[in-house]
Homo-oligomer: A and B are copies of this chain.
Amino acid sequence: MTVKVFVVDDHYMVIEGIRALLQNEPGIEFVGNATNGESCLAFLQRQQPDLILLDINLPDKKGFDLCKDIKSKYPTIQILGLSTFNQRSYIDKMMENGASGYLLKNAGKDELLKGIETAMKHKTYLSHEAALSLRNEESEDLPVLTRRENEILEYIAQGLTNQEIADKLFISYSTVDSHRKSLLHKFGAKNVAVLINLASKYKFI
């Protein structure tokens, strides 16, 4: 049986790269590609592939959300996340939203084929480096944020003050301040500038 593969990525060169890598592979058929979420969903209405390679950074929609959408409408389609970042929070989010695994764009042909094969067996596949980053020191000492911390981090990045956040969430100033403190502490940041810099760098926001 031939595995029908569809690619969603806004970079034409990456699409071409994957197409080239999958060309002449027995058992795999490249059935098409999309460069944004909208055209991806439009394609799926007409035709369903077996597996989608889905970039996380799409122009019109976050890859995470698209992943969720696809999985809810077409639960049998396997999805492999695709991105340049081997960031724990990225990998986690992708898996939470129903992906079967995660490939980095610097993955080679072997990994790509292995990933497709593994996903089609309904097992989880992670890129070598992505898998490493889950055990890696550098990633390991990246903070793990709670639901509330993530929420408040987002508001801080938007420029809201503690009081404004407190009003918005119907909690006291003190509580927001506590969360802010723990954010600074978890990131090892001495002030909000460093906090936002790191959070942005590591794609928390």
Contacts and interface: CB of A to CB of B under 8 A. Distances in A.
B14 A14 contact: yes
Contacts of A105: 11-14
A12 B190 contact: no
Nearest to A105: B11
A68 interface: no
Nearest to A84: B11
A192 interface: yes
A14 B12 contact: no
Interface stretch (A15-23, A37-45, A92-100, A170-178): A15-23
Interface residues of A, number: 38
A10 B105 CA distance: 9
Contacts of A106: 10-13, 35
A189 B159 contact: yes
Copies in the complex: 2
A205 interface: yes
Contact of A159 (B11, B21, B158, B190): B190
A197 B196 contact: yes
B156 A12 contact: no
A21 B11 contact: no
Given A20-B19, A106-B35, A200-B200, A193 B156 contact: yes
10 closest cross-chain pairs (CB), A and B: A17-B17, A20-B20, A16-B17, A13-B17, A200-B200, A159-B194, A11-B105, A196-B196, A157-B197, A11-B106
Given A11-B84, A13-B13, A14-B105, 13 more contacts: A11-B104, A12-B17, A12-B107, A13-B18, A13-B21, A13-B107, A15-B17, A16-B17, A17-B18, A17-B20, A196-B196, A196-B197, A197-B200
Interface of A: 10-21, 35, 57, 84, 104-109, 156-159, 161, 189-197, 200-201, 205
